[in-house]
Structures are given as C-alpha cells and as structure tokens.
Amino acid sequence: MCETCCSNVSRRTLMAGGLGLLAAASLPRAAQAQAQANAPGDTPDAALDKLMQGNERYIAGQMRERDFSAGRAARAESQAPFAAILGCADSRVAPELAFDQGPGSLFVVRVAGNFVTPDGLASLEYGAAVLGTKVIMVLGHSNCGAVNATVAALQKGNDLPGHIGDLVRAMKPGIEPVLQKKEEDLRHQAVIANVRANVRQLQESKPILADMVSSKKLRVVGGVYDLASGKVELV
C-alpha cells in the first residue's frame, strides 16, 4: 500500500477512534433512558418526521404536558438529542417550543441569520458524530431582521455599524442571486435562499457531515418558521 493511502487510512482511523472516545465519554449509562426516549427509529427520516409532528402539535395548540424536572439528574450527566437546529437568534423563535420537544431532545445552534460559522459547524459536527443527531435543520423564519438588513445593504450599499456588517458579508453569497433575479416577495425569497445556501454548505462540509450525509446516517434539511402561524415549511 502506498504511503498516501496509509496516511489517509491512518487519519480516518484516528478520527473514528477519537469520535468513539468522545461518544463513550458523553453517553454514560445514566443517559440510556433519555436516549431511548428520544430515539426516533434511528433513521434520519424518522427524526425529521418526529420534528414535523411536534410542529403540528404546536400549531394546533396540543403540545404535550411535561414535567421538566423529570430526568434532570440523568441530563446532568449527559445528553442524547435526536435532532440539531441551526436557527436564528430572533427572540420570537424558540425551537423547543416550535417542535414541541423537551430538554435534551434538540441540539440548538443560534446566530442572527441562521448561517454557518466555524464554531457553529464544529458544534453541529459534534452533535452528529458524537451525540448522535440524525437530522440537522437550518431554520429560517418570516420577517427576519438579519435577512432584511442584508437585502437592504446589498441594494443600497448601507454601511452598518460595529460588527453587524459581518452578518451581511456572511449571508451575501446565498441572498445575492435572488436580488439579481428580481423575485416577487423579495424578502421572503431571500429567507428561503439563505436557508438553502446553508443547507448546501452543511451537506458538503467535509470530512464529517458530508460523509455522514453520503452514507445516509444524517439528513440536512431547510425549514422556514412563520411567525404568525408557528408553522414550519420545509424548503
């Protein structure tokens, strides 16, 4: 076997071993009950179905009653979420409520504009490879201030204060093509375009997420939360 192949095999072996050790450290016996409770059939499709069924309950006002103190001791030792959410920091969007899930079920990363950052990517990799999340949803929402600011800045060349301009620079690649097409309902189309751009980025992110997606161990999907109705539409 050539030295390059040996090197590649060695790197893969080390990464797999390292993730295995992290997983072993993160999931002691005390968390087995929680993991079983969160287990959505051990498939990405089933995990997505579980999210969407929870959203249907939320829309209908039929959320499950929960004693949040139950299982607190087990959760103090570890976690076993079945899904991860890359969501906006908007205070009106609460993923655990929107999907009717209790503590320990969702692994949530939030940033204004729900776009991928290096730290956010690392967190989502940890969630998928170590904690066992089966689906990642990039969750945008209607009337997103970060998207609207990006659209305005790209159209008018606004000079935003402080580090807010960094949001525009990060979201520009996904949103700019919509402006060039002069879509109707521009702001909503920009929300969808931003979600889809970040879904693609996560799906193609090597070595961890892309490999898990290609082996069908993980799904990465996009959704848009409607602030008025609470409904999440897959996009």
16-66 residue pLDDT tens: 455 655 554 544 544 444 555 555 558 999 999 999 999 999 999 999 977
Band (100; pLDDT cuts 50, 70, 90): very high
Task: Please check whether residue 222 is in contact with residue 234, taking contact to mean a CB–CB distance below 8 angstroms.
Answer: yes
pTM attached to this predicted model:
0.84
Amino acid occupying residue 151: V
- The Cα 216–Cα 28 span in angstroms is 26
Checking if the pLDDT of 228 tops 70, the result is: yes
78-94 residue pLDDT tens: 899 999 999 999 999 99
More confident residue, 142 or 161: 142
Q: How is residue 188 written in tokens?
A: 């909503």
| 3-state SS class at 13 | helix
Q: What is the per-residue pLDDT for 15?
A: 53
Q: What is the per-residue pLDDT for 73?
A: 83
List all residues 6 or more positions away from 27 whose beta carbon is below 8 Å from its beta carbon: 35, 78, 80, 131
Band (69; pLDDT cuts 50, 70, 90): confident
Q: What is the per-residue pLDDT for 12?
A: 46
More confident residue, 221 or 36: 221
Query: Given its phi and psi angles, is residue 230 left (phi above 0), alpha (psi -120 to 50 degrees) or beta?
Result: left
- Residue whose structure tokens are 């690649």: 173
- The Cα 204–Cα 197 span in angstroms is 11
Share of the chain above pLDDT 90, in %: 71
Count of beta carbons in the 10 Å neighbourhood of residue 65: 4
Task: Please check whether residue 152 is in contact with residue 172, taking contact to mean a CB–CB distance below 8 angstroms.
Answer: no
Q: What is the per-residue pLDDT for 202?
A: 98
